[in-house]
Structure 1
């Protein structure tokens, strides 16, 4: 079985476009189509549905995809283990990450990463939506949440401590809450769908339902509205640390920790071996953030 044919098939499973997949691998549309035909002939099954508008995987193609990915991952790992081929990982690394965290903490560090691995190209997709890694063809996903998906292998990159914040202006006008119960008398800013605040206590989780005149679907917008004096909000320290240092935000109820187990995770599918390009990416950012991230 030809490795180049497998590479094209795996790339096609992400792009659903033969010409685009071939272009990314330096192949003309005609050569790319011929490669796929040969792969199907060798296997004796149809892997693709082809129409004039689009290409999709057949049931056999969907079943074959994880095995093709594993074969390519095994070859890359084997070559790296014996020092064959390039001395450093190469190719294209496809990464998805939350928009705010990606802009604030991944993009500024990409220069040092890409200087260290000049043979690597990076495709970075920043989105707050939870993207299907396999369907999207991503090598690694950065998530800032409690980890729930058991089908993924995950490595914790950093803590994601979340705190209550307010602007000095808001506190001067409305007073400083002294207990979680006091929040019922304040305006809070919420991420849509998360109206309640959960605090850790000796008796377990204490849930406070607060009132809000402003809700948003974006963490940066919530943080900035908080700094503008519109209310109290929950913010990750990685998002608010600069405004906290500048005094534009202050922590509220520091003696009452929020009940959350969120962290910054690097995830990759359990069906794949850890490719060298994924390993060096994860190692780079785990080292950058460290046990006590710079935003703490």
Structure 2
């Protein structure tokens, strides 16, 4: 089932997996990623673990509202002058809450990856009564912790994201190239799956480099969450890969250290992705979080 939530003038597209009786679980996506980054098969793993799952497109992604024509400052400018960012993570957290409202969920388990993990952290901080548990994956509590990939990787990633994509096949090829840079060296790349995500994402909404810049500006402008995370009193799980070149392992450790009682799961050989062989384990870890 698909739907559209409203947050002010913005439309937020979402998709539902599983029956209404499942524990509500909201999945929040990463920078430059549509909801498709959580494949339907992974969502099914979570449904089988007892959840009703919702994945959604962040603002400036997929079928949700794009702030086309709004210029974004570079990350350094956004960090030094947060007011220069078109929006911040707290606004994106509001989009997530709008999806909860559209689903009629008073509260939900909230999980996010990379920037999605930062948004999930912000939902828990800004709207604590709406969050049953927090799962932060491949993320960080501060843009200053663990976010410097090797220069070679950074240059290659920047070039890939800036390159125009003019067809679904080009999008599929670029997606594979991105995953080869940031993916899990301990697991084989599921190239067929990655290509299919790239094609479907292009068909839904072709890549728009400026949209990713606006999202990155939001991250840079949103500061350090460690002090606020220290005030959380909810079950929390931090999942990270020890081979993550985009968010170094110390970012995951810092997230877990900031949240009282958080459990850290560090997967050997996992990079800045969610390899298929780990789906059952990740679903199991999330399902073991205390439930009301």
Instruction: Flag the structure with higher strand content.
Output: 1
For the criterion TM > 0.5, the same-fold answer is no
- The higher radius of gyration belongs to 1
- TM-score, normalised to structure 1's length? 0.29
- TM-score, normalised to structure 2's length? 0.29
